[in-house]
Structure 1
Amino acid sequence: MTTTTTPTLELRRNSHGRLVLRLEGGIEHEAVTPVRAFPIAAPGEGLSLVGSDGHELAWLPRLDVLPAAQRALIEEELAAREFVPSITRIRSVSSFSTPSTWEVDTDRGPARLGLKGEEDIRRLAGRTKLLIAASDGLHFHVPDTTALDRASRKLLERFL
């Protein structure tokens, strides 16, 4: 395993559109996957570049230490694999006990999610940021509960 703490690396796409990492010494690794250590709490901090075999090839303490072109490549890759819609409105819930089905609006459009239990709603970074794990494995984010409309906050309070 080759791990670096400084961003002495080169990133590019190959002819198939896959990310290629060239480390100091000229060693190249194809099909590299960027993985955030803290995708919601600190998305710009702690990034691992992982090889196709699942081993870490490089560690970046901060994404902003990379040159703009390399940072853009990583951000494109992350956007393609990270899908965490933000809930902007809760339209309805099937029941105030769990399991229940929620009809919500998100920044990616309307969605329907199943909630198995109250423990599937987790508070992040204070009292107003939430992560909701739907029964199908998809995660939804509420960046600020106080920004939701009054009806949505009232429905949400029944589960918190």
Structure 2
Amino acid sequence: MTEHHTTSGGRLSRDAFGRLQLDRDGSVVTGLVPVRSFPITAPQEGISLVDQEGKEHLWVERLDALPADMRAVIEEELASREFIPEIQRIRGVSSFATPSRWQVSTDRGDTVLLLKAEEDIRRLSTTTLLIADGHGIQFLIRNLSALDKSSRKLLDHFL
């Protein structure tokens, strides 16, 4: 049985294969994917539901303005696609030159990331960094000042 969630833009449901679909006055678009406009700075605002060609079919100004059941479906879909571990502590680095292997603690557990070049550390704001791992994973440092002193000291060698 398919669950239906109604919004002013139409009716959102999942098809028999679990893909998101939007029904607007009998016209059904299947295989929609939610995309955040500002995934780091405003993750709850500006969500677009797009098809495989990237055409937008529904714009959601704010997730918290949606009915709870529809919000849950979109958040579930986003969670299945997004994986950006947040670094909470840098436990050690193999070298202060790149490439360098970093031992880090994240909100998803302890891991090792490979920093291929200093350019792979991108400053998003004065307190937020995005680090591209050599294996294609993006790691987030949301607030530099929230890191412990030894983590900040290790990080300073690369900034």
Same fold judged by TM-score > 0.5? Answer: yes
1:14 positional shift: 2.5
Structure 1 residue runs of 5 or longer lacking an equivalent are: 1-5
CA distance in 1, matches of 2:80, 2:31: 14
Counterpart amino acid of 2:121?
I
1:2-39 deviation per Cα after TM superposition (whole angstroms, max 9, x unaligned): xxxx942221222322212122x221122211011111
C-alpha contact 1:130 1:143 (8 A) present in aligned 2: yes
The equivalent of 1:3 in structure 2 is none
1:92 positional shift: 0.9
Q: Does residue 121 of the first structure (1) align with residue 132 of the second (2)?
A: no
Counterpart amino acid of 1:105?
S
**Higher relative contact order (Cα pairs below 8 Å, separated by 6+ residues):** 1
C-alpha contact 1:18 1:30 (8 A) present in aligned 2: yes
1:61 positional shift: 2.6
C-alpha contact 1:7 1:60 (8 A) present in aligned 2: no
The equivalent of 2:4 in structure 1 is none
1:40 positional shift: 0.7
Partner secondary structure for residue 32 of structure 1 = strand
**Between the two proteins, what is the percent identity of the paired residues?**
56
Structure 2 residue runs of 5 or longer lacking an equivalent are: 1-6
1:96-127 deviation per Cα after TM superposition (whole angstroms, max 9, x unaligned): 111111111111111111112111111223x2
The residue correspondences of 1:134-149 to structure 2 (distance < 5 A) are 134-149=133-148
The equivalent of 1:26 in structure 2 is 26
Partner secondary structure for residue 136 of structure 1 = coil
Partner secondary structure for residue 31 of structure 1 = strand
The equivalent of 1:88 in structure 2 is 88
If the length of structure 2 is used for normalisation, what is the TM-score? 0.88
The equivalent of 2:101 in structure 1 is 101
If the length of structure 1 is used for normalisation, what is the TM-score? 0.88
Evaluate the alpha carbon distance shift between residue 38 and residue 26 of structure 1 in structure 2; reply closer, same or farther with a 3 A threshold. Answer: same
Partner secondary structure for residue 73 of structure 1 = helix
Range with bigger deviation, 88-97 or 49-58: 49-58
Counterpart amino acid of 2:128?
K
CA distance in 2, matches of 1:14, 1:129: 38
Report runs of 4+ in structure 1 exceeding 6 Å deviation: none
CA distance in 2, matches of 1:57, 1:8: 9
